[in-house]
Amino acid sequence: MTKTITVLVGSTFALLLAVGLAIGWDEPSGFGDIPWGSPPAVVKEKLPDLSCGYRNQRCVGDLLIGIVHTQATFLFEPTEMNPGLDMVTLYFPSEDFIRMKVAFVEKYGEPTSRRTETGQILMGTQFENELLEWRGEKVVITLDKYGSRVAEGRAVLQTLEGQRIRQKHL
């Protein structure tokens, strides 16, 4: 009897843990009220201050995330037929990382993975970069304290399908 209860409790815990990991974050169906796959015209309609162009595959402009001013780039699937929104990159001052982190955790839940990396600038000063990731069945989000420069953080929200297409083009 004790063995049966132990196996049942252990199996139930394993199942709850697996379900919790699978639904541990709120995977977005788009960016704000713009669904993934939307054409550039929809992005421009929803965010009229953005500038769209480059063969109808990119929209850029300033965007406020909470109280953080970001430079946003909206990219559309790199296909000739019916390009749709599949990636948003946000650049922000690295000193606003904590604000961005709080906003992302409030919106999407806890990240599915966290790590830190030690970096070094040209003058030899070392720094710790915090990297957060939310990975789901269709979307991956990364939030980095430092992007390609220490003065600038970066968030990338993209569909896994778009990520695969872009990797093929590399």
**58-108: per-residue pLDDT in tens?**
999 999 999 999 999 999 986 655 679 999 999 999 999 999 999 999 999
Q: What local confidence, expressed as pLDDT, does residue 106 receive?
A: 94
Answer yes or no: is pLDDT of 22 > 80.
Answer: no
Answer yes or no: is pLDDT of 111 > 50.
Answer: yes
Asked if 15 contacts 124 with a C-beta cutoff of 8 angstroms, the reply is no
109 lies in some domain: yes
48 lies in some domain: yes
**Which residue did the predictor score with more confidence, 18 or 40?**
40
**DSSP code, position 96:** G
State the total domains in the chain. Answer: 1
10 lies in some domain: no
6 lies in some domain: no
22 lies in some domain: no
Q: What is the signed CA dihedral for 27, 108, 60, 120, rounded to 10 degrees? A: -110
Answer yes or no: is pLDDT of 8 > 60.
Answer: no
Mean of pLDDT values over 1-22: 40
Q: Residue 50 sits in which domain range?
A: 28-168
Please, which pLDDT band fits residue 21 given cuts at 50, 70 and 90?
Answer: very low
Asked if 121 contacts 131 with a C-beta cutoff of 8 angstroms, the reply is no
Is the pTM here over 0.85, yes or no?
A: no
5 lies in some domain: no
SS3 content of the chain, % helix, strand, coil (to 5): 30, 40, 30
- pLDDT tens, residue by residue, 39-71: 999 999 999 999 988 666 899 999 999 999 999
| Close Cβ partners of 66 (under 8 Å, ≥ 6 residues apart) | 99, 100, 102, 103
